[in-house]
Amino acid sequence: MSEDLRLMTLAEVSALFNIPLRDLKRDTKAGRAPHVPIGRGTERVHRRMTAEHVRAYQEVRAREVAPQQPQQEQPVDPLRQAIQATKKATARRRGHRAVAR
């Protein structure tokens, strides 16, 4: 059996590739990480991964964890801030007032 086709447990994958086991379990259960479900039913599914699955998962994680470019801060406009604060306060007051019909 070639190394690419060998099925590894999530604990083995976690130890070999330095991926937190909790993240690996969560992502396989949610379908974000490719895996092979072993067993019948849905209660206690045993999940296994091949080396190809691990490579694909690492690429996805690298894209998600890639640093985002910082957004440039918009200049502060005091008039706009005052208008927004007034709108929020008005909405809050109207939301708490009982409506008589």
Domains of the chain and any CATH numbers: 3-65 (1.10.1660.10)
Q: Where are the beta strands (DSSP E) in 34-85?
A: 36-38, 46-49
Neighbouring C-beta atoms of residue 71, cutoff 10 Å: 6
CA 39 to chain CA mean position, Å:
26
pLDDT tens, residue by residue, 29-56? 888 899 998 887 767 778 999 999 999 9
Whether pTM > 0.75 for this model: the answer is no
The answer on pLDDT for 97 being more than 60 is no
Neighbouring C-beta atoms of residue 24, cutoff 10 Å: 22
